Amino acid sequence: MKIGITGGAGFIGGHVADELEARGHEPVIFDHLGRSTSGHKVMLGDVRDDVAMAELAAHTDGIIHLAACLGTQETIRNPRPAAKTNVEGGLNFLEAITQYDIPGVYIGVGNHWMNNSYSISKTTIERFTDMFNRERGTRCNVVRLVNAYGPRQSVAPPFGPAKVRKITPAFVCRALTGQPIEIYGDGQQVSDMVHVTDGAKALVTALEKAAAGTVLDRVVEVGPAEHRTVNEVAQQVIQAAATLGFPAVPLIHLPMRPGEIPGATVTADTSTLPLVDMSADTLVPLETGIPDVVAWYTQHWLPSYQAGAA
Ligand SMILES: NC(=O)c1ccc[n+]([C@@H]2O[C@H](COP(=O)([O-])OP(=O)(O)OC[C@H]3O[C@@H](n4cnc5c(N)ncnc54)[C@H](O)[C@@H]3O)[C@@H](O)[C@H]2O)c1
């Protein structure tokens, strides 16, 4: 099938494109960025443009909707961009797949219950998806990911240009440059992690199920069965860097940022994984995923960072 991926130029989108290709599908990346991190060609388009979304639906056999304005604390002071991209863009996606009667998949967030602009706007479209499926005959499945990590995730300042600071690149870049790892709060909060390739598999299977006429009556949640605190994830990064010869760095604790909740737990209900033919024991374990991703940043990010810093 020819499958549109909105936000396909991003981190998860690149891995979804790889997974689609591996299964014999043809990915069509739709993004308002003119380039992609995965080397796929990009069709320039904006999800806030209902006509562009209808065009994408008219020329594809299904759409995986990933485009979003991200950031938990970044979107609190100015909720409008998240509302416009995530809510209006999400509605454009649902209208387009309904109009052209093609299957769709919507990606939700692990912290869907939190009241910040990002979670509220992302979860609003989960609720609209349920309404469209029930009332309009739409075929759209919802897959929520906990914190995704893996190769090619973009890096925020001072290490790179990304607007949103994501936990893994932030920890890895500091560990590889000999700087203390900054943790907001006491680090005892649980923010579970899923390897991006597992997320991509779940998203593509959910699309294939919708294409075969199966509209799942539950949201699929992708994340591990065993929970880890942020401190434990940081220690795994430090250990993985140490095995590559980087000296161990300390952890420093900073005040929590707006929107972060002390003691918060972001986990997945792994009983939903069989809905996409997966189970928690087949997911990439953090014990191998973190060393792999540290090695990836050592090879693909560190040399250019050091060249720029020199
Ligand atoms: N990264 C995570 O840990 C995580 C976890 C759960 C869910 N998600 C969801 O997965 C999706 C992708 O996240 P990601 O980590 O790959 O982010 P990303 O920032 O790497 O990718 C998002 C992509 O969307 C594109 N985009 C943004 N606004 C657009 C618009 N108006 N029109 C067209 N394209 C637009 C961006 O250019 C970018 O390429 C998002 O919906 C996010 O909410 C991410």
**Strand residues in 69-223 grouped as ranges (E):** 104-109, 140-145, 147-149, 181-184, 190-191, 193-195, 220-222
Q: What's the predicted TM-score (pTM) here?
A: 0.97
* Minimal-distance CA residue to ligand 1 atom 18: 10
DSSP structure class, residue 147: E
128-147 in b/e form (b: 16+ CB < 10 A) is: bbbebbeeeebbbbbbbbbb
| Separation of CA 102 and ligand 1 centre (Å) | 22
Residue 8 CA: nearest ligand 1 atom is 39
Q: Which of 12, 32, 40, 145 to mutate to test the pocket of ligand 1 (most atoms within 8 A of CB)?
A: 12
Domain that holds residue 120: 2-309
Q: Which of 5, 6, 11 to mutate to test the pocket of ligand 1 (most atoms within 8 A of CB)?
A: 11
pLDDT at 72: 78
Residues lining ligand 1, Cβ inside 6 A: 6-7, 9-13, 31-33, 46-48, 66-70, 85, 89, 107, 109-110, 122, 145, 147-148, 154
- The yes-or-no verdict on residue 194 having pLDDT over 90 is yes
Burial 271-294 (b: 16+ CB within 10 A, else e): ebbebbebebeebbebeebbbebb
Render pLDDT for 166-184 as a digit per residue (tens, 0 to 9): 999 999 999 999 999 999 9
Give yes or no for residue 40 having a pLDDT over 70: yes
Q: What is the pLDDT of residue 257?
A: 82
Q: Lowest-pLDDT range, 121-125, 206-210, 246-250, 253-257?
A: 253-257
What is the percent of the chain where pLDDT is above 90? 86
Ligand 1 nearest-atom number relative to CA 36: 39
Ligand 1: centre distance to CA 70 (Å): 6
Candidate from 41, 70, 222 with most ligand 1 atoms within 8 A of CB, to mutate: 70
- Closest atom of ligand 1 to 9 CA is 39
Q: How high does pLDDT run on average in the chain?
A: 95
- 29: pLDDT strictly greater than 80: yes
Stretch 24-33: mean pLDDT: 95
pLDDT for 251-273, tens place per residue? 999 998 877 788 889 999 999 99
Ligand 1 atom nearest to CA at 153: 20
**CA 162 to ligand 1: nearest atom:** 19
Whole-number Å distance, alpha carbon 11 to ligand 1 midpoint, is 7
CATH number of the domain residue 303 falls in? 3.40.50.720
Question: CB-based contacts of 220: which residues, under 8 Å, 6+ apart?
Answer: 141, 142, 143, 144, 202, 206, 272, 273, 275, 276
pLDDT at 291: 98
Q: 302 — phi, psi (to 5°)? A: -60, -45
- For residue 103, how far is its CA from the centre of ligand 1 (angstroms)? 20
Closest residue CA from atom 29 of ligand 1: 67
pLDDT of the residue at 310? 58
Calpha distance 277→272 (Å, rounded): 9
Work out which ligand 1 atom sits closest to the CA atom of 118.
43
In the chain, the number of structural domains is 1
Mean pLDDT of the region 195-203: 98
Residues 72-119: tens digit of each pLDDT? 777 888 999 999 999 999 999 999 999 999 999 999 999 999 999 999
Hey, how many other C-beta atoms are within 10 angstroms of the C-beta on 307? 8
- The closest residue, in CA terms, to atom 25 on ligand 1 is 7
Contacts of 168 (CB under 8 A, 6+ apart): 147, 149, 150, 153, 193, 233, 237, 290, 293
For ligand 1, atom 21, the nearest C-alpha belongs to 10
User: Which residue would you say has higher pLDDT here, 132 or 77?
Assistant: 132
CA of 249 to the centre of ligand 1 (A): 31
- Give the distance (Å) from ligand 1 centre to CA of residue 8: 8
Q: How confident is the model at residue 150 (pLDDT cuts 50, 70, 90)?
A: very high
Please identify, by atom number, the ligand 1 atom nearest to the C-alpha of residue 154: 20
